[in-house]
Structure 1
Amino acid sequence: MATSPPHPSYASGPAYPSGPADGAPLAGPGTAGSLRHAHWWQRAWVRYGALSTLLAISGLVILALVREETGTEGFLVGLGLAVLPVPLLIAAFRWLDRVEPGPWRNLLFCFAWGACAAALIAIVANSFATRWIATATADPSSADTLGATVIAPVVEESAKAAAVLLVFLFRRRDFTGIVDGVVIAGVTATGFAFTENILYLGTAFGTDQLTGGTGIASVTAATFFVRIVMSPFAHPLFTVLSGIGFGIAALSADRRPLRRVVFPLGGLLLAMGMHAMWNGSSAFGEYGFFAVYAAFMVPIFGLLTWLVIWTRQRELRTVRAELPAYAVAGWLTPAEPYALGSMRARRIARQYARRHVGRAAAREVARYEAYATSLAFLRHRARQGRSGPDFAVREGELLGELWRRREVARPALDHAARITAPPVPVTAPPWPVYGVYGYGPQPTPYPAYNPYRS
């Protein structure tokens, strides 16, 4: 096995930088030297601290508002019931993101934004707008209907899409396509639905306390069935449309800036329209909710599920297509591109490393897989003319990360490739071969040379 990294140089395709000497990554523009004269407000810890403070204050305010609305007992009941679908939804979005896993800090930010900031914006704006409409029209029932079908979809989807926009603008390296948009939007909406479900379930519990409703006929049971059992994916489904718009914008080349505006706005408008139709389903008659659920929600959910799974498979094909260039250059073994392009082979490689070396080795293999996938996507964007000015630096960083982990990852991935690779087809000739089928030993065409024969 090589002990120093190769230095690939290609005449065609994007310009490849020389490999990092002794496995060290190339220094990029984000090093300490470039930040030596940065202003204090440009420092990362200042931005992170300000954002964390904003989300913490929003969380405390929304906590106080929901508790005031539901009471302490209602809040605790709503919290216990609303948390049930959250692990399932987060696990589903993480499964979609397994090809190129995004950092956990992005998902934590999105969930916190949805549960705290977006929920606070929605409660304050919806309450203000509904009261203003009721005062202007002197018709509280019409104000509630208009607020639910017009005001709420616009306010809530805009507040949730703000998190997707922030990640798109300030974490552009982690936002590369449709799957990233779906995951970021879905996790944001999961956080928003979590807070909203606490409010609705806690309010329903308070109503049952006043009316004496118990059991399956209670308002709490009905609310739980509709919001947690039948439609836990409702808010994620709406906001995913915005995420798809941002994902398509991420795939667009920089020379087409119009697409970067049109597609996110189009996705946001679709999310608002679908949200409005869902909220207004009760106005379609006694069975309006079930009609909208069966005719629109379920088919659209199935269509979007197919879209993201198809996109996931397309990403794996991209990995298998782009990484062989690095195998030819010596950065990867010949078997690695196939193994890295198969989720089953990746899982087998991690299990092999965990079984023979330990959990730390399995984590290193997982990081190796993530860096290799990012490298494949980076090269794919470069071949399509969508690479940024830091392409060479970023490629050098990723190659350096792979080279440092090669001793642990390569044996595991080669083992996984041997297990999962399809068998090579062998076609038998249509006629019998002498020496087979009982025809006796196959003769040699020439006498074998024996140097000891006189």
Structure 2
Amino acid sequence: MVSDGSVQQRQSQPAVPLLEEQRVGEILAAVPERRHWRYRPRRVGMVWRSRTFRVAAVFTVLALCGLAILALVRDQTGTQGFLVGLGLAVLPVPLLMAAFRWLDRVDPGPWRNVLFAFAWGAFAAALVAILANSFATRWIATATADPSNADTLGATVIAPVVEESAKAAAVLLIFLFRRREFTGIVDGVVIAGITASGFAFTENILYLGNAFGEDQQIGTSGVVSVTAATFFVRAVMSPFAHPLFTVLTGIAFGLAAAAPRRRRIRRIALPLLGLVLAMGMHSLWNGSAVFSPYGFYAVYGVFMVPVFGLVTWLAIWSRVRELRTLSAELPAYAAAGWLTPAEPLALSSMRARSLARDAARRRYAVEARGTWQSPYGPTPAPSAQAKAAAKAYGKAAAQAVAEYESFATSLASLRLQARRGTAGPDFADRELELLHHLWQRREVASPALAYAAQATGRLRPAYPPPPWTAPPPHPQYGGCRNSYSSPGYNPYLLPRQQPPQ
């Protein structure tokens, strides 16, 4: 009965015509334009996938944390102490930022990572630390009924764990969500150091502001003031303290980034080990004054300074190793015809890189100015607009060379990752994309890099060019070699080679 009723009901409904598949062209031609659509697809979950939304959400959270931590610090130091502490705490920041950016010059990371790391350390990590440390100290004082012991335990046990964990969170986030920009020890050192510099900046505001308030109460000023002593200890003697602690975590993350993907235990254990070492060093530093009246100076001279020297040497060695990676990996692309033989030599020298950018800037600016010369006699002085145009040409050429250097460095790093087994399954696509970017800028960058290789003594001039030095042309792009027909050919710029016997 049910089935008969349903059949009768279906038969009683009016027939609805169906569109025929053979009329596809006519149907699609009748579809209105997008602005006249009556129905639009539902964007399920698209807000969370939007990159703009994620960036706005992250920076909104950091801004709220910044307002909260600055309000807490001003509440503890007072308005005048806050301003004095802010002015003094800013002084070591440019030096620390310049040092870490210099270290990252070979393959510089994007500025968004730098800004995120500094903001996380200065706002988010500092807010977590001040709230957690205050809560833990009050809880210990209530549980033990000994406020002085609670302060000691809070400084030597609670603070290192909380602060280093909060700072390490920034390194972990960039390691997870900006994995392609986190490839080795240098990246870990830079991100960790900048995060810790931001944290030290906010902490210095608090300490210097409180010291100024103490000076206001006891009436001291000048060199003998508490503010001067605090500034000397925190900004002159040990501005590297917080960066040094967190850099241990960054080095561990860098080693994990360089480890093969199949080494999962190593990729998890190394960051945890680095975090434990950072906490231990931080605890030793905070507790140095508790050991004895001269404990601070003993820990500073016997432990902190040697470790700082060792970590500095490791960071600089890693930077030099990045340059050696270029000279080791890029000749394969020169042999295949993608690069000229001089380019790996120039790209593996920071001095040659800078010289190549300057050479391209001068060359294209001079060529733009050369259009003002007349073969029939002197011409009027160029206008301000013409000078600006020549300067723009030179600047654009230097930018093209800088981008070429950046892509070439990424290409060498990608090839090294492939040999280590950490490149991922999209290695071929990423390699082709980088080669495409190099090819687009080759006409401007290749002659400048060849000149820089010769000017820095990394390339011996040779003339005439023997025929065996030209690599075979690339089949897809029609040849990429230093030949008579290629743009930017220079017969005086050839690598040191011996003729075949």
TM-score by length of 1: 0.84
Separation in 2, partners of 1:367, 1:130: 51
Moved more, 91-100 or 349-358: 349-358
1:287 aligned to which of 290, 294, 311: 294
1:250 corresponds in structure 2 to 257
Separation in 1, partners of 2:360, 2:137: 58
User: Which blocks of at least 5 consecutive residues in structure 1 are unaligned?
Assistant: 1-35, 427-454
2:194 aligned to which of 173, 177, 187: 187
CA shift in 2, pair 1:274/1:107, >3 Å: same
Please show how residues 297-312 of structure 1 align to structure 2 within 5 Å.
297-312=304-319
**Residue type of the alignment partner of 1:385:** G
1:203 corresponds in structure 2 to 210
CA shift in 2, pair 1:162/1:294, >3 Å: same
2:448 corresponds in structure 1 to 412
* 1:71 to 2:71 alignment: no
2:235 aligned to which of 228, 232, 236: 228
Separation in 1, partners of 2:97, 2:401: 23
Contact 2:345–2:459, Cα closer than 8 Å, also in 1: no
Separation in 1, partners of 2:53, 2:455: 49
Aligned partner of residue 405 in structure 1, secondary structure? helix
Separation in 1, partners of 2:459, 2:125: 52
Aligned partner of residue 315 in structure 2, secondary structure? helix
What's the CA shift for 1:328?
Answer: 1.6
2:407 corresponds in structure 1 to 371
What's the CA shift for 1:394?
Answer: 1.1
2:350 aligned to which of 343, 348, 373: 343
Aligned partner of residue 293 in structure 1, secondary structure? helix
Please show how residues 167-186 of structure 1 align to structure 2 within 5 Å.
167-186=174-193
1:93 corresponds in structure 2 to 100
What's the CA shift for 1:216?
Answer: 1.0
2:143 corresponds in structure 1 to 136
2:51 corresponds in structure 1 to 44
**Cα offsets for 1:418-442 (capped at 9, x unmatched):** 112347699xxxxxxxxxxxxxxxx
1:155 corresponds in structure 2 to 162
Separation in 2, partners of 1:304, 1:270: 13
Contact 2:346–2:458, Cα closer than 8 Å, also in 1: no
Separation in 2, partners of 1:37, 1:408: 46
| Greater relative CO (CA pairs within 8 A, separation 6+) | 1
What's the CA shift for 1:180?
Answer: 0.3
**Cα offsets for 1:16-38 (capped at 9, x unmatched):** xxxxxxxxxxxxxxxxxxxx987
2:480 corresponds in structure 1 to none
1:24 corresponds in structure 2 to none
Separation in 2, partners of 1:38, 1:71: 45
What's the CA shift for 1:131?
Answer: 0.3
**Cα offsets for 1:40-97 (capped at 9, x unmatched):** 2111111111101100100000110011111111111111100011011011001110
Separation in 1, partners of 2:105, 2:56: 29
Separation in 1, partners of 2:423, 2:64: 38
**Residue type of the alignment partner of 1:165:** L
**Residue type of the alignment partner of 1:129:** A
Separation in 1, partners of 2:337, 2:303: 51
Matched residue count: 391
Contact 2:360–2:398, Cα closer than 8 Å, also in 1: yes
Separation in 2, partners of 1:105, 1:395: 24
2:436 corresponds in structure 1 to 400
What's the CA shift for 1:265?
Answer: 0.3
User: Which blocks of at least 5 consecutive residues in structure 2 are unaligned?
Assistant: 1-42, 365-393, 463-501
Bigger radius of gyration among the two: 2
Separation in 1, partners of 2:292, 2:400: 57
CA shift in 2, pair 1:185/1:324, >3 Å: same
